[in-house]
């Protein structure tokens, strides 16, 4: 008789179902089967479950692309990971054979599939992933720190692009989880003054805890005017856009010859941008999509304890209570929601 497990399944537009599904099995020699220690709800999960969806996913899959697991079984060709090891992973499984992969642009793979989005992921008791996407973590690293590996590696990749110089000023647009990761990482990278723009007062408080020197509510004051006051009229050195719709605000706030990294995504919005200002001021703009070869460095960062990630956890829930976490993400009361398949054992 087929072994079953509990899981959260993407069952229709805006809907999930907590149900029994077959426990996944190793399908190929390079696969790894892991028991899930913890998983977390990402903003992308919220976009997938919007009505209409603002991020595409395949109905019928087990959702969840941010998870930590303990290896139970490995395929016959796996030599770098063994049962008992703990792992985090990049869920964006690249083919290694297409034009972009051959150029080293694995985050642009033409044949990519994504665990928890286009294929089964980690909102269950077990998951299977290719060994090449997994990175070992220490036995001592708390799952509640390791759970940040996937989103954090994406932000590490973005921060690498702008090459912050010590003392440079920074503006972070948005204080959701991604904006807070930017704040922490840029602070750790030697940023001088960090300003965060965020209309939600609660998230603004978290931004200050994460290392921001000032939080500006753009619904109460003119953001551009405040940035010019803070920089003696010059504009900010570096802007990190973590919302997906604020490119013009970034252009208006950055100084001539400054840098902007665009990370936020919203496929339903098409914001206008002042190209004249970009060209005239020689503004450097970088798009940054997921992570590229940064997961091992991200694990080293988490192991170092250099940044306090657990302060961002607002909800700890049983897997079956996914809907509670999703609601909290939607209404802005949550930052990081952790789901535990073995919640009853943990209590």
Same domain, 157 and 271: yes
Where helices occur in the chain by DSSP H, the ranges are: 43-48, 99-102, 143-146, 149-162, 177-188, 201-210, 223-230, 247-253, 275-280, 295-304, 322-331, 343-346
CATH number of the domain where residue 122 is located: 3.90.180.10
346: pLDDT confidence band, cut at 50, 70 and 90? low
Mark 212-223 as b/e (b = at least 16 C-beta within 10 Å): bbebbeeeeeeb
Same domain, 186 and 281: yes
Task: Give me the pLDDT at residue 2, please.
Answer: 84
Stronger pLDDT, 51 or 58, i.e. the higher one: 58
Task: Please give the DSSP secondary-structure letter assigned to residue 165.
Answer: P
For residues 140 and 184, membership in a common domain is answered with: no
What pLDDT, on a 0 to 100 scale, did the predictor assign at position 266?
Answer: 81
pTM of the model: 0.94
Per-residue pLDDT tens for 116-172?
999 999 999 999 999 999 999 999 999 999 999 999 999 999 999 999 999 999 999
pLDDT score for 345: 59
Residue positions annotated with a catalytic role: 44, 47
Domain span at residue 240 reads: 153-287
Q: Mean pLDDT for the chain?
A: 96
Instruction: Tell me the per-residue pLDDT of 302-320, one tens digit each, with 9 for 90 and over.
Output: 999 999 999 999 999 999 9
In a domain, 296, yes or no: no
Q: Residue 347 has what pLDDT?
A: 52
3-state secondary structure of 276: helix
- pLDDT tens per residue, range 252-286: 999 999 999 999 988 778 899 999 999 999 999 99
């Amino acid at each position: 008789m087929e072994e079953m497990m509990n899981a959260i399944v993407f069952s229709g537009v805006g809907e999930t179902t907590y149900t029994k599904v077959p426990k996944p099995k190793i399908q190929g020699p390079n696969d790894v089967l892991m028991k899930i220690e913890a998983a977390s709800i990402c903003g992308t999960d919220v976009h997938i479950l919007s009505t209409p969806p603002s991020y595409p996913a395949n109905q019928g899959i087990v959702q969840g692309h941010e998870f930590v697991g303990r290896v139970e079984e490995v395929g016959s060709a796996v030599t770098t990971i063994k049962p008992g090891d703990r792992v985090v992973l990049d869920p964006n499984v690249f083919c290694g054979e297409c034009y972009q992969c051959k150029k080293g642009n694995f985050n642009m793979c033409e044949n990519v599939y994504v665990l928890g989005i286009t294929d089964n992921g980690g909102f269950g008791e077990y998951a299977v992933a290719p060994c090449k996407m997994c990175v070992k973590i220490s036995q001592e690293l708390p799952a509640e720190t390791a759970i940040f590996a996937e989103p954090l590696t994406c932000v590490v990749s973005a921060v690498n692009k702008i090459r912050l110089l010590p003392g440079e000023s920074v503006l972070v647009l948005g204080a959701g989880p991604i904006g807070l990761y930017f704040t922490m990482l840029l602070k750790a990278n030697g940023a001088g003054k960090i300003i965060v723009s965020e209309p939600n007062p609660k998230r603004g408080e978290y931004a200050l805890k994460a290392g921001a020197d000032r939080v500006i509510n753009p619904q109460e004051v003119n953001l551009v005017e405040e940035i010019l006051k803070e920089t003696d009229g010059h504009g900010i050195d570096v802007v990190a856009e973590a919302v997906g719709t604020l490119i013009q605000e970034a252009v208006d706030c950055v100084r001539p010859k400054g840098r902007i990294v665009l990370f936020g995504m919203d496929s339903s919005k098409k914001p206008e941008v002042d190209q004249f200002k970009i060209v005239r001021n020689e503004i450097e703009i970088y798009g940054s999509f997921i992570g590229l070869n940064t997961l091992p460095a991200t694990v080293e960062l988490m192991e170092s304890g250099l940044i306090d990630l657990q302060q961002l956890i607002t909800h700890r829930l049983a897997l079956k209570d996914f809907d509670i976490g999703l609601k909290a993400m939607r209404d802005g009361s949550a930052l990081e929601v952790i789901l535990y398949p073995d919640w009853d054992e943990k209590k």
